[in-house]
């Protein structure tokens, strides 16, 4: 892939000027007349990989800036969130452990003084990737012992829980919280995982979590036994899917299309409704979140491609009885 050629094609319509004078405005707004985010978007969207690291750009579709770097071989439990603000880039390490969530800012990169279009393109398409790669690999090397201990601790917790679940005799007279430790009753991640391993459905387990563990007060969580609760494993997602969806939104278009075309594929939806071909990774957070909500569910078709149909929580949603529980996986943008 010729990154420079693709970038040039993406940005050749932008109006650049080298005559503007520096001001007190943020550095980003001085690169180009109000089109900084579009430029960064075009540049970073040109690659999916860098030296073995997978780069997820789906956050761009929702927020306009931010990517996630992962490497299943080098760092299977860590992902690295890259957020681009007006004058700096932050690199955050996130540990995938529902029992003991961990995140830490591991690097901050100041945006350089760039005025020419070609310099901006080179920095974002070459220099930035190298800086991020070096920051991540250096942090992994410097903290290798701590990371190993975290992995060992998580494996021990998972093993203990599995042993307790295997030894647990299910009986109707046993209440849903029997067998849970005090810590598991206080931690929504632990409670949810234990209940799922005990055989409860996702909806039943989420109902218990929402009932016994209140969400942070800023979200005004009030438990309602008539409500079906859901959550997502993606901390970047801010979707809540309130009913009814606004007219002409992706939620309304997709749900209406699935309802009328059960068994349809994502590619078919893009062509028939959006009028354009589907690009892998496009609106990934939306599709992951609406599946997690239970409004829509997927099945693997005979050719291996996923098909969509109305999910088990669709009726609750149409009655206003489906809510996202905000006590776990709180969207990073809402904290």
Average predicted confidence (pLDDT) for the chain: 77
Domain boundaries, the chain: 3-144, 168-213, 224-335
Residue 267 has a pLDDT of 92
| pLDDT greater than 90 at residue 269 | yes
Give the integer Cα–Cα distance in Å for 90 and 92. Answer: 6
Residue 13 has a pLDDT of 47
| pLDDT greater than 70 at residue 3 | no
| pLDDT greater than 70 at residue 273 | yes
pLDDT digits (tens, 9 = 90+) for 187-232: 888 888 888 877 778 888 888 888 888 888 777 788 888 999 999 8
Q: Reduced to 3 states, what is the DSSP secondary structure of residue 72? A: coil
| pLDDT greater than 90 at residue 296 | yes
pLDDT digits (tens, 9 = 90+) for 26-35: 334 444 445 6
What token pair was written down for 94?
């996130």
> Is residue 93 within 8 Å of residue 104, measured between CB atoms?
yes
Residue 35 has a pLDDT of 60
How many alpha carbons fall within 13 Å on the CB side of residue 296?
28
Give the integer Cα–Cα distance in Å for 195 and 190. Answer: 9
pLDDT digits (tens, 9 = 90+) for 12-70: 544 443 333 333 333 344 444 456 666 776 777 777 888 888 888 766 655 456 788 88
Query: Which has more pLDDT, 60 or 75?
Result: 75
Query: Which has more pLDDT, 77 or 153?
Result: 77
| Residues 6 or more apart in contact with residue 113 via CB below 8 angstroms | 27
Alpha helices by DSSP H, 112-269: 117-122, 128-142, 144-167, 182-186, 188-197, 202-212, 250-260, 266-269
> Is residue 26 within 8 Å of residue 8, measured between CB atoms?
no
- DSSP designation for 218: G
* φ, ψ (nearest 5 deg) of residue 6: -65, -45
Counting residues of the chain whose pLDDT is more than 90, the rounded percentage is 24
| pLDDT greater than 70 at residue 301 | yes
Which residues share a beta bridge with 55? 69
| pLDDT greater than 90 at residue 311 | yes
- Nearest-Å Rg of the Cα atoms of the chain is 23
What token pair was written down for 177?
């919280």
Is the CATH number of domain 224-335 3.30.70?
no
| pLDDT greater than 90 at residue 253 | yes
Predicted TM-score (pTM) of the model is 0.47
């Amino acid at each position: 892939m010729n990154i420079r050629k693709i970038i040039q094609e993406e940005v050749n319509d932008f109006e650049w000027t080298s005559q503007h004078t520096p001001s007190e405005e943020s550095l980003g707004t001085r690169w180009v007349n109000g089109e900084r985010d579009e430029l960064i978007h075009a540049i970073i969207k040109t690659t999916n990989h860098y030296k073995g690291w997978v780069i997820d750009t789906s956050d761009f579709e929702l927020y306009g800036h931010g990517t996630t770097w992962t490497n299943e071989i080098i760092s299977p439990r860590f992902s690295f969130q890259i957020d681009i603000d007006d004058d700096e880039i932050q690199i955050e390490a996130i540990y995938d452990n529902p029992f003991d969530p961990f995140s830490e800012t591991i690097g901050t990169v100041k945006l350089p003084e760039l005025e020419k279009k070609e310099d901006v393109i080179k920095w974002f398409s070459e220099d930035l990737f190298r800086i991020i790669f070096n920051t991540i690999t250096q942090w992994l090397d410097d903290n290798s012992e701590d990371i190993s201990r975290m992995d060992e601790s998580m494996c021990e917790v998972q093993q203990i829980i599995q042993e307790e679940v295997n030894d647990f005799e299910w009986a109707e007279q046993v209440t849903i919280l029997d067998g849970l430790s005090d810590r598991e009753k206080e931690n929504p991640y632990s409670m949810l995982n234990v209940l799922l391993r005990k055989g409860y459905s996702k909806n039943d387990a989420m109902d218990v979590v929402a009932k016994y563990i209140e969400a942070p007060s800023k979200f005004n969580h009030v438990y309602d036994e008539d409500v079906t609760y859901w959550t997502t494993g993606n901390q970047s997602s801010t979707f809540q899917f309130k009913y009814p969806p606004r007219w002409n939104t992706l939620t309304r278009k997709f749900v209406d299309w699935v309802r009328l075309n059960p068994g349809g594929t994502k590619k078919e939806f893009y062509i028939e409704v959006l009028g354009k071909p589907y690009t892998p990774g496009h609106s990934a957070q939306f599709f992951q979140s609406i599946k997690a909500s239970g409004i829509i569910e997927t099945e693997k078709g005979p050719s291996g491609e996923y098909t969509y149909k109305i999910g088990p929580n669709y009726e609750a949603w149409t009655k206003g009885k489906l809510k996202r529980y905000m006590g776990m996986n709180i969207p990073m943008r809402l904290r």
